[in-house]
Amino acid sequence: MAGHDETLSTRDRFRGALLGLAVGEALGAPAEFLTAAQIVEKHGFLTEMVGGGIYELAPGETVDATEMMLCLAESLADVGGLDPEDVIERYRVWFESQPHHVSLTVRATLLSYRAGTHWDLASRRAFEILGGPTAGNGSLIRCAPVGLRNYGDAEMRHDLSHRESTLTHFDRLAGWSCVAFSDLLTAAIHGDLREQVPAIAATLAEEDSRVSTMLTDTLVAEPEELRSSSFVLDTLQTALWTVLHATTFEHAVCAAVNMGGDTSAVGAVTGALAGAVYGEAGIPPRWLAPLQGRERIAAVADRLADLALAPGA
């Protein structure tokens, strides 16, 4: 990871986080569920917005990570903070718009909510219906706006990151992973990501040792230990490792998505974290140019910065 660029403003890093999320997803989505070898066979080393894939995307088109992130970010900006009922209602409207992709856990939750289950119980009902763990990465991939809105308040950031995750993911591991990511995002914006990982891990040790152990293990992990899957800890570890070992935004995101597997998710999470490190200025213009919803994403990032960075916030 390159040194902290003091010339970048915090606002540029807010924009970098949300634009980076979308860019990473758009780069990775065409390779969704391919192995690393299959990506090489089809694309070589993937470095461009190629489109296509199982979702038949246009170059620069995004899927669920960016779409749900925008629902969450615009709710936070419109309301001023987290209103869970407003957020899940926005998710319902998005769900009914027939998006390209909805994860199994999110789908089960929103079907339950749409059928009349109270918003605060819908993820529990989905957990019961699915009959198994729901520690997928579906809440992690969208959660960056909560960290940004509560940039200056660690206690609020922790509480609301976990709370927002439970709207769709009953499994507490998903929630604590979102808490960890919100702290990692804050550290990235501060410019001391690597230095803060042990402290973030220590903060979470009593809440969920699985998350804490993963964070400390990542600092010494070898590349062959990484896995790109839909399991929340795999996605978070791969994103953190690639950003820590990269020298540019492009380096980080390309390394992550070319691992194969759940490439849209790992691209989104890596892109958000790398965007917080390198800012909007560090994202290649050739990736920003075709990005679907670019102006909308930048606008809501600015609104979140206005709220989070206001005097007394």
Residue 167 pLDDT:
97
Containing structural domain, residue 165: 10-308
Residue 5 pLDDT:
63
d(CA 82, CA 165): 12
Residue 3 lies in a domain: no
Residue 8 pLDDT:
76
Q: Which residues pair with 260 in a beta bridge?
A: 35
Residue 310 pLDDT:
87
Backbone dihedral angles phi then psi of residue 100, each to the nearest 5 degrees: -60, -40
pLDDT single digits (tens) 226-280: 999 999 999 999 999 999 999 999 999 999 999 999 999 999 999 999 999 999 9
Nearest to 165 by CA among 179, 149, 151: 179
Residue 313 lies in a domain: no
Specify whether the CB–CB gap between 175 and 166 falls below 8 A: yes
3-state secondary structure of 268: helix
CATH of the domain at 139: 1.10.4080.10
Residue 187 lies in a domain: yes
- pLDDT greater than 60 at residue 6: no
- pLDDT greater than 80 at residue 132: no
* Helix ranges, the chain (H): 10-28, 36-43, 64-79, 84-95, 104-114, 122-130, 144-149, 154-165, 172-190, 193-204, 209-218, 232-245, 249-257, 263-278, 285-288, 294-308
Residue 5 lies in a domain: no
Whole-model pTM over 0.85 = yes
- pLDDT greater than 70 at residue 158: yes
pLDDT single digits (tens) 87-110: 999 999 999 999 999 999 999 999
Residue 2 lies in a domain: no
Beta-carbon count within 10 A of 293 CB:
18
Arithmetic mean of pLDDT, 132-161 = 94
Per the structure, the count of domains in the chain is: 1
Residue 264 lies in a domain: yes
Q: Which tokens hold the place of 49?
A: 């917005």
Residue 2 pLDDT:
58
The mean of the pLDDT values for the chain is 95
Residue 242 lies in a domain: yes
Residue 4 pLDDT:
54
pLDDT-based confidence at residue 7 (cuts at 50, 70, 90): low
Residue 209 lies in a domain: yes
Residue 134 pLDDT:
66
